Amino acid sequence: MEANELNKSSEERTNLNTGNQSGNTEQTTEQQSPEEVKNSGQEDQTPKREENKSENQPEEVSGADGQESETTKLENSEEPEKKLPQENLYPEEMDYTSLSREQLIEKFKDNLNKYPVSNIKTHAEAIRLIFENKTKEEEVAAKQKFIESGEPEESFDPQPDFLQKDFAGLFAEYRNKRDEERLSQENEKEKNLKDKYEVIEGIKDLINRQESLNDTFQEFRTLQQKWRDIGPVPQNKLHDLWETFHLHVENFYNYIKINNELRDLDLKKNYESKLALCEKAETLLLEPSPVKAFKTLQKYHDQWREIGPVPRDKKDELWDRFKAATSKINQRQHEHFESLKNQLHKNLEAKIELCEKAEALLQQEITSPREWENKSKQLIDLQQIWKTIGFAPKKDNNLVYDRFRKACDEFFNRKRDFFKNYKDEQQNNLQLKTELCIQAEAMKESNDWKKTTEEYIRIQKKWKEIGPVPRKQSDAIWKRFREACDYFFNRKSKFFNNIDAEQDENLNKKEAIIKELQDFELQDDSEKCFAVLQDFQRRWSEVGFVPIKDKDRINQDFRNLINQKFDHLNLDEVNKNLQKFRNKLENWKSNDQFNEKIGQERNKIMLKLKQLESDIVLWENNIGFFTKSKNSEALVRDFKHKIENGKRNIELLNKKLDLIDEML
């Protein structure tokens, strides 16, 4: 029976200590994902690492071949756990952007005094970045205020910043503590490595003892507990250390052939310890902070790995339970950092949009102080929104901040340059508006209503195009200009209020002329009738303006009627055309666009004259050519006829030009 029990115990011990079953299995599973472990059938697992994708995300376990990551090794140190409760090891997450520089210094100092320096890294960096940004903003604001007070920019001398000096000293203290901690940790790891090899030597020495199995096993248990109590060792020595430890533990079990009852008790104690770890891991599912739960789970996995084997019939059930809790915690941590990653990208998109809006303000042409103030308010609103947005991804955070800061600085630099030149421009505008006042006052007694009105409209338009004047002179110069304009337009209004009755009378006179022309019957004496019709035209021209609503109708009636009379006279076509042309010019004369129309008509006549002269030269050359040919009499006659008609048309066109000159 003793032999069977010894064989059985040896087999169970082999399951505990061989790398195929538990020792190396627990190390190897550290590098597997929850999904991989789920299908692997192996016993242990350490939570899967996530890539460090945000500045607040902790480093994770590498786990390759049972090796621990630097973060895991630091967290396995027993001393910090003894000094502080777990919930007090890390500063509370908060938004530092709402704090003033004084508050940031106090918060930094508080973190440095309360927490391990390795646990405040992300907080220290966040506080440093925000403090530097706020310092820069205050310096820019002080410089802007100095310039706006009228002082030249080159005279600006920043005042000593004692807060900046205090913060620099505090940050230097943080770095010194961080370096001291790292050096201390490395020294501690080397000491731990030496202590663990001493434990291994102690296990090796147990093989040569002649004491009872119970005493030897109790000493072995003491050495195991001493092994667990020793802290982390250098990463590059970890794998060899564990291999050596497992080898000598296996040798110890093989040598002493521990009895079956003691083995069962050991398996039971291991079972209870691992069951407690399962319960603790499941409790972590209720932890509000996924990061904190993940880090605590690393410690549980270290403890799980150091606990010996459990009864064979409980091994898979126990591991599946622990693995299930591990997978859920890993998933929570993964989802947490995915959420952080998504939020960081959303923050980046929001900040890029603010950059684009700030840059769009730079593209706008701003020409007045009011516009500058409105645009400045818009930019300040963008800056306030910026402060409410959290961090962007680490690789983009400084870049997008520099882009936004550059747009803001350029905007306020342009604003400063604008107001620097604004006073000189206002004085120049005052001079220009004074000259317009002089012009307006010089024309206010004019009776040339149309031309003077056009001139007033021109200088009023020019007044609007001139920029602002100094505020002290603004009301006075405007009042002077307005009085001159009002004086003229009041006179014009009074004049035209009295002219309506005169225009009605002129309409009656022109209607009487039309009636008289309708009743006039042509006689055989064409020259006498021609003279009478010319007299009708003269009398019509002498009558003044008629109401605007009747102007086109009355002029068209007269023109049609007198053209009809001229057509019935026994006159040559030249005179008829001239009279009709005169009548058309007379009709235009009452039109507001007389000068424009008569100018266009003159240009048309000049073009026709040039064309006719060119055609006559061509026809005459053709006659010279065809006279040398036989049977060309008909062509020559045709060209001569064209030449005669062309000359008559040239004469008519010249006479029309004379009429135009008379009208002008």
Residue 461 has what pLDDT? 93
| Range of lowest pLDDT (22-36, 195-209, 601-615) | 22-36
DSSP 628: T
Residue 60 has what pLDDT? 32
Rounded Cα gap, residues 331 and 113, in angstroms: 34
Q: Is 84's pLDDT higher than 60?
A: no
Q: Which band of pLDDT confidence, cut at 50, 70 and 90, is reported for residue 576? A: low
Rounded Cα gap, residues 37 and 30, in angstroms: 9
Percent of the chain with pLDDT over 90: 8
Rounded Cα gap, residues 44 and 24, in angstroms: 9
Residue 626 has what pLDDT? 64
CB 515 within 8 A of CB 539: no
Mean of the pLDDT values across residues 242-258? 76
Q: Is 287's pLDDT higher than 90?
A: no
Neighbouring C-alpha atoms within 13 Å toward the C-beta of 331: 9
Query: Which residues are CB-neighbours of 520 under 8 A, at least 6 positions away?
Result: 532, 536, 565
For residue range 202-233, list pLDDT tens digits in order: 888 887 766 666 777 788 888 888 898 888 88
For residue range 48-62, list pLDDT tens digits in order: 333 333 333 333 323
Residue 460 has what pLDDT? 93
| Cα distances (Å, whole numbers) of residue 529 to 517, 521, 565, 569, 575 | 12, 9, 9, 8, 13
* The most confident of 283-287, 492-496, 523-527, 566-570, by mean pLDDT: 283-287
Q: Which band of pLDDT confidence, cut at 50, 70 and 90, is reported for residue 455? A: very high
Mean of the pLDDT values across residues 568-572? 63
Nearest of 458, 461, 463, 490 to residue 479 by alpha carbon: 463
Rounded Cα gap, residues 310 and 319, in angstroms: 10
Residue 372 has what pLDDT? 85
Mean of the pLDDT values across residues 411-438? 85
For residue range 127-152, list pLDDT tens digits in order: 889 888 988 888 888 888 777 777 77
Residue 243 has what pLDDT? 87
Rounded Cα gap, residues 273 and 307, in angstroms: 7
Rounded Cα gap, residues 38 and 59, in angstroms: 24
Q: Is 458's pLDDT higher than 90?
A: yes
Q: Is 617's pLDDT higher than 90?
A: no
Task: Please count the other Cβ atoms lying within 10 Å of the Cβ belonging to residue 404.
Answer: 21
Residue 47 has what pLDDT? 33
Residue 664 has what pLDDT? 65
Neighbouring C-alpha atoms within 13 Å toward the C-beta of 599: 4
Residue 479 has what pLDDT? 93
Mean of the pLDDT values across residues 385-406? 87
Q: Which band of pLDDT confidence, cut at 50, 70 and 90, is reported for residue 25? A: very low
Q: Is 82's pLDDT higher than 50?
A: no
Residue 326 has what pLDDT? 92
Rounded Cα gap, residues 421 and 239, in angstroms: 74
More confident residue, 74 or 323: 323
| Range of lowest pLDDT (89-93, 276-280, 282-286, 413-417) | 89-93
Residue 203 has what pLDDT? 85
Query: Cα Rg for the chain, rounded, in angstroms?
Result: 54
Percent of the chain with pLDDT over 70: 79
More confident residue, 496 or 72: 496
Residue 177 has what pLDDT? 85
Rounded Cα gap, residues 301 and 44, in angstroms: 8
Helix or strand run (H / E) with residue 358: helix 312-363
Q: Is 111's pLDDT higher than 50?
A: yes
Mean of the pLDDT values across residues 4-15? 34
Hey, is 115 helix, strand or coil?
coil
Q: Which band of pLDDT confidence, cut at 50, 70 and 90, is reported for residue 348? A: confident
For 264, the token pair is 């069962």
| Range of lowest pLDDT (99-103, 427-431, 536-540) | 536-540
More confident residue, 577 or 460: 460
Mean of the pLDDT values across residues 529-555? 80
Task: Please count the other Cβ atoms lying within 10 Å of the Cβ belonging to residue 587.
Answer: 19
For residue range 618-645, list pLDDT tens digits in order: 887 777 766 655 566 667 677 777 777 7
Residue 40 has what pLDDT? 32
Residue 571 has what pLDDT? 58
| Range of lowest pLDDT (130-139, 256-265, 331-340) | 256-265
Mean pLDDT, rounded, of the chain:
76
Q: Is 435's pLDDT higher than 60?
A: yes
